[in-house]
Structure 1
């Protein structure tokens, strides 16, 4: 043996070693049903936790809602939650690893069990001896019935029939063997869509005053490759935001009139959104999620219109109120405070001593501190939740295929053999499900061919 032969021999043995380990050791473990069940339960549990625990919030939010004393369930504090990554479950490396491992388990099961089962169902052979029929759970022997008659009867019952001499084989419902394979394929598609969404999607929140053009900046959760989904040549303008109120003063619905504009300010699309009716554009969805008061437009005597920002005040959990301060002297020595709690146009005015001076509505004026204060408009701001998830179409396609494949899996794969020996006809069959119904069908089949043979 030459040195070259020795080298190639070692390379060959090195290559077969990993393959042998994979086929003999690793593949059976991946294809184990118990492993798949454990992984599926883990995915379900962590998915539920991602639904129950608010995702993508600030550290202060979790500190306030998941304190160390008392800890939720005795152990779940904000430190544990952030350390494990339960604030962004679907993007953690361990959750994605579970998805990949579950997908590997499904793939291994498909190739080691489902595909061989399908191939076995497609392979068949004629029964040539009487004793072969006795091994079937369902078999019978009839006299004075021809094999041709049996063939015609089976074909009328939508069986695919093969005949060779005095032997016959028929089958129906091979799609039932294909169904489980497509079930696995559809689940793999769903997993792939989930991973794509986790890696490339993002969630953002913006609070935008009416009349402003904004880009997506306040991203609260994003995958490592989400940059590709960000708008490159367009932005969104909030033309107007308003709230419809019920007669008793409670909020009925939020509305935002939004326009998608390009770099030159040309409008590409325009829609009015509200809760449960988002704006979808270029793979990004804008949901109506919140609201606020951005500012108030005022005039002092004959001054131009001034839009003063209003800030949300701390009320100790007793409702939401926004306020601002308006100077009534040029040296800022005197002024009034303006408070508003909604967009119905009512503004409360307080003096420097904190005493309520008056209540005015939009379009009204008030003489105070030697000036005339006009309140023109309370400007609202829309709270938008912005989401991009390129994996959603893939997930929907997977679920659609899953529903079809589950129906396919319920189709019974039935097989019938026949053997003609003189005036005796041996008939036997088996099925993989609905065995009682199949037994009744075979009995009805025998009754049919015997009655038809008697008549003829």
Structure 2
């Protein structure tokens, strides 16, 4: 678009309200007494100037403060809804979330899961809102920062008379010696740490311009913080997972790409002594033993080559650590924290095949509850097939045997027993304290012999490469907050116009402090104190209102 030429000769971008150089209003006549809107120095913003193309409309949309506020409201509302039911990370790790929320909370729980509130901070639409907020902050800041910076950079010392008259703080005076008066004012303003610029016998005193950039520094900090939040969902940047490890077993460390493995060499639990006088009352109130500490004696391995994963020959021990609460094992940016445990989890159950009539037993079956075999040969023609296995048995809604998880909390087996006397096989339904014969009376039965248990430890795997972004964003945000809150951008113009001294002042906040600075600078110079035109207008309106009230009473 064509630029707008001011009478001072400066070419302003299309849409400029106040000349960036001399300050003359470009869209109003010189007789207008309305105070100038100095929020952005009256400059042209792209969002208010270019409005025709598709890109212009996108820019207009995201540069709107209302749009940014609505995105924040949506984020706050969705975050609040996300606290109604527990997030997926806080439900039992062995259950299926799709089933858990429906079973625990009914229809609302199912909707909660379907809409993604169970994993709110990782859902695509929540990430989209955060991205939208970041784009809105960036565009809104750029839309205002660039023209404001340009206007402050281009401003001249000598300003148009209409610019002076339409400042909030304004006044005119006649003095005997203008040169001496200006020198005195200049010296006092310098004492107040103002930066003085002079042109054609006029001067402008300015300080605290850096305060104008406080909100934009805020926005930079927010954008960096939001980038850090979004980076948490990029592979390898942020890991917060759990791994359950049974004693004497090795598991891959989640998030390491099968590079690191950890072994639970031993799990220990220490209880408070019930005879200890200090803790006796607390233990009695609890009604159960109180855990003092629990720890995992862990060994960390690193895979040496790309051979078969899981073979100890391919693993190299690199660390041994006693992991306790708040005493993690740290390596390569990862940390393993002790978060939970389970004592005496079923590991192996042993059975024998028994003749019900003679009580004679045949062989022994040691069933690994985590990896049972489909068939067990007991010798001499005796064998048992494991036709079905339910690690955590229950009857589902259709009244059909099923399992809640792979954890052997309630193991149930359906065996088919083959013997020389029963070559067709007999079916037995065996569980804890139950031994049923669903297809009729059998000649043989499965008899429980022994059980082996193991302690299980739960380790939280943490890695956070986004923490630097979050800390940097927070620090920059606070710097911008202090910068914009505790300082103000103040300007004082003194000009010689028609043999008089014109004084005008502007600040982005706290006009009372600005007037105090001006009064200090002109004290004893013969220049009368400029008035606050907003206060004068309010006084006039109040006086008119009082007069009208008095006339009505009369």
Q: After alignment, is 32-41 or 272-281 more displaced?
A: 272-281
Residue of structure 2 equivalent to 1:275 = 325
Residue of structure 1 equivalent to 2:66 = 34
Equivalent-residue separation in structure 2 for 1:447 and 1:310 (angstroms): 93
Asked if 1 retains the 8 angstrom alpha-carbon contact of 2:188 and 2:520, the reply is no
Equivalent-residue separation in structure 1 for 2:494 and 2:302 (angstroms): 73
Distance 1:446 1:213, change over 3 A: farther
Which of 47, 57, 66 pairs up with 1:25? Answer: 57
Deviation of 1:432 after TM superposition, in Å, equals 0.3
Asked if 1 retains the 8 angstrom alpha-carbon contact of 2:225 and 2:473, the reply is yes
Deviations 1:301-345 (A, max 9, x none): xxxxxx99999999xxxxxx9999xxxxxxxxxxxxxxxxxxxxx
Equivalent-residue separation in structure 1 for 2:511 and 2:76 (angstroms): 33
RMSD: 4.1
Trace 1:265-304 onto structure 2 (pairs within 5 A): 266-293=316-343
Which of 263, 276, 279 pairs up with 2:303? Answer: 263
Trace 1:169-184 onto structure 2 (pairs within 5 A): 169-184=204-219
Residue of structure 2 equivalent to 1:432 = 508
Trace 1:188-227 onto structure 2 (pairs within 5 A): 188-200=223-235, 201-216=238-253
Equivalent-residue separation in structure 2 for 1:109 and 1:86 (angstroms): 29
Residue of structure 1 equivalent to 2:190 = 155
User: 1:199 aligns to what SS in structure 2?
Assistant: coil
TM-score of the aligned structures, taking structure 1 as reference length? 0.66
State how many pairs are aligned: 359
User: 1:438 aligns to what SS in structure 2?
Assistant: helix
Extract unaligned runs of 5+ from structure 2.
1-49, 274-282, 284-288, 305-314, 348-365, 371-390, 394-407, 412-432, 435-449, 528-554
Asked if 1 retains the 8 angstrom alpha-carbon contact of 2:245 and 2:457, the reply is yes
Equivalent-residue separation in structure 1 for 2:208 and 2:218 (angstroms): 16
Deviations 1:282-310 (A, max 9, x none): 2333232111125699xxxxxxxxx9999
Equivalent-residue separation in structure 2 for 1:322 and 1:238 (angstroms): 20
Deviations 1:46-86 (A, max 9, x none): 33444553225566455345448754xxxx232x2232122
Deviation of 1:256 after TM superposition, in Å, equals 3.0
Equivalent-residue separation in structure 2 for 1:426 and 1:108 (angstroms): 39
Q: After alignment, is 205-214 or 417-426 more displaced?
A: 417-426
Residue of structure 1 equivalent to 2:465 = 390
Equivalent-residue separation in structure 1 for 2:392 and 2:95 (angstroms): 21
User: 2:190 aligns to what SS in structure 1?
Assistant: helix
Equivalent-residue separation in structure 2 for 1:261 and 1:444 (angstroms): 74
Deviations 1:246-298 (A, max 9, x none): 2332123333344433235555455444334444432333232111125699x
Deviation of 1:123 after TM superposition, in Å, equals 3.1
Equivalent-residue separation in structure 2 for 1:255 and 1:48 (angstroms): 36
Residue of structure 1 equivalent to 2:15 = none
**Between structures 1 and 2, the one with greater helix share:** 1
Trace 1:124-163 onto structure 2 (pairs within 5 A): 124-127=155-158, 132-141=163-172, 143=175, 144=177, 145-163=180-198
Asked if 1:43 corresponds to 2:75, the answer is: yes
Asked if 2 retains the 8 angstrom alpha-carbon contact of 1:175 and 1:413, the reply is yes
Distance 1:409 1:268, change over 3 A: farther
Deviation of 1:149 after TM superposition, in Å, equals 2.9
Distance 1:380 1:25, change over 3 A: same
Residue of structure 1 equivalent to 2:134 = 103
Q: After alignment, is 146-155 or 258-267 more displaced?
A: 258-267
Asked if 2 retains the 8 angstrom alpha-carbon contact of 1:146 and 1:425, the reply is no
Deviation of 1:437 after TM superposition, in Å, equals 2.3
Equivalent-residue separation in structure 2 for 1:231 and 1:98 (angstroms): 31
Asked if 2 retains the 8 angstrom alpha-carbon contact of 1:153 and 1:445, the reply is yes
Deviation of 1:37 after TM superposition, in Å, equals 0.8
Which of 457, 460, 476 pairs up with 1:401? Answer: 476
Residue of structure 2 equivalent to 1:381 = 456
Asked if 2 retains the 8 angstrom alpha-carbon contact of 1:237 and 1:259, the reply is yes
Equivalent-residue separation in structure 2 for 1:27 and 1:291 (angstroms): 53
Deviation of 1:422 after TM superposition, in Å, equals 9.8
Asked if 1 retains the 8 angstrom alpha-carbon contact of 2:297 and 2:321, the reply is yes
Deviations 1:194-245 (A, max 9, x none): 221123244422121344432135xxxxxxxxxxx52453322334432332
User: 1:230 aligns to what SS in structure 2?
Assistant: coil
Deviations 1:121-145 (A, max 9, x none): 3332223566653322213456455
Extract unaligned runs of 5+ from structure 1.
1-17, 218-228, 298-306, 315-320, 325-351, 354-372, 452-456
Distance 1:156 1:386, change over 3 A: same
Deviation of 1:414 after TM superposition, in Å, equals 1.0
Deviations 1:373-399 (A, max 9, x none): 9xxx98633211223343333222212
Residue of structure 2 equivalent to 1:53 = 86
Equivalent-residue separation in structure 2 for 1:279 and 1:405 (angstroms): 38
User: 1:158 aligns to what SS in structure 2?
Assistant: coil
Distance 1:187 1:209, change over 3 A: same
Residue of structure 1 equivalent to 2:267 = 241
Equivalent-residue separation in structure 2 for 1:94 and 1:189 (angstroms): 20
Equivalent-residue separation in structure 1 for 2:409 and 2:143 (angstroms): 65
Equivalent-residue separation in structure 2 for 1:449 and 1:230 (angstroms): 76
